[in-house]
Structure formats: structure tokens, C-alpha cells
Amino acid sequence: MSTEVNFSGKVAFVTGASSGLGSRFAKVLADAGAQVVLAARRTERLKELRAEIEASGGAAHVVQLDVTDYASIKSALAHAETEAGHIDILVNNSGVSSTQRLVDVTPEDYAHVMDTNLRGAFFVAQEAAKRMIQRAKAEPHRQHRIINIASVAGLRVLSQIGVYCISKAGVVQMTKAMALEWGRYGINVNAICPGAVDTEVLRTAMGKDWKAALDRL
């Protein structure tokens, strides 16, 4: 049984849209009629995705975003609203990982994962929510959506990717806190916890033979 979803007239902001799940989320939203804002560091890839979406009859915009840079977050959200209008949907998807035992994790390794997966995700959602709340006060019946991309690794700990697991567990709890505080403004906040998906992030962390690598954890 199929379900028709119509996001015509909605603006969706997708982080980490240059590859993997992010690009897929963007395509699905565009196919459903949303005007999609593609956000990531690698704008050349975003431009390729924009061309693909537009060739299929969709609408997309490109903004550069580094979620580890607070100024970049504020600038990207402002640029997005200038280009596309008020943001109705945030897909908070940017993420990185590293593969090592906890005793081998350096401060740089830890910061690399946490700054993107947890700190970055928090401040992207916060900046989007500020704008959504302001709009909700003017239009009380307006509904907004924030979807944080967590992971099954945030629910079940795996060895060698412990810091990634910690960061995604934080995203799960972060989502609950955001839902509690922002629900009164008509902002629906949820998390998705995907399993292992053959993406660039996974291959970078575990190598091309990622299925065998997961079996060894």
C-alpha cells in the first residue's frame, strides 16, 4: 500500500546533502513537491544534485554550510530563507565517523566526531527553530518539522566506533529535549535511527568491505 505525500509549497533544508542519505532525502522531498535547500561544504556536488533534481522537475537551491562553524550555520540559514523562503522542514543529517578503540581516540578524533554529529546538529536545529518559533508566533497554526538523523549505534553500542555511538546517543536525547521544548510552537521534532547503509561516510570509516568490518566489531 503506497502513501502519497505532497509537500508542495514547503521549503526543506537538508544538511549533508552532498552524498549518501542526505542526497537521497533531498531527492525524495523534491519528488514530493518541496522546494529543497541543499546544504554541505562541497558545493560542487550540491550543484550536480541540484541539476539532477531540476531535470526531474523539482526545485532546489545550493548553500555552503560547515556545521562545525557557528557563523557558517547562521549564514547558511539566512541565505536559505533569502533564496527559498521560510523553512518548514529541517533534515539534520550531517555526520562523520571514525574507527578505533576508545583507548586510541585522540582529542582531535573526539572533536572531529562530536563537533559535527552533536554540536553541529544542535546548533543547526537551534538556528532553524529560532526562525520557526518566530514564524509560529505570527502564524499560530503553521506546522514545522525537524528530523534529526541519529543511528542504531545511538541505541546499541558497537566496538571500534564508540565515539560515534556516543555522539548519536546524544542526538537521540537531544531530539527528546527539543520535542519537549518546541512542541508548543507547532514544531514536530523526531529522530530517525538508520542501520548500516553503504554510504561514503561508512566506507571512509570502515573501508569498502564494510559488511565484513561490521561483523568483526
List, by residue number, the catalytic residues: 164
Give the integer Cα–Cα distance in Å for 201 and 216: 18
Taking the CA atoms of residue 80, residue 11, residue 2 and residue 199 in that order, the dihedral angle to the nearest 10 degrees is 10
Name the grid cell of 205: 570509516
Dihedral of alpha carbons 199, 27, 125, 174, sign = negative
CA distances, 120 to each of 4, 38, 48, 134, 142 (Å): 32, 16, 25, 22, 26
Give the integer Cα–Cα distance in Å for 118 and 71: 17
CB atoms within 10 A of CB 173: 13
Dihedral of alpha carbons 148, 151, 154, 160, sign = negative
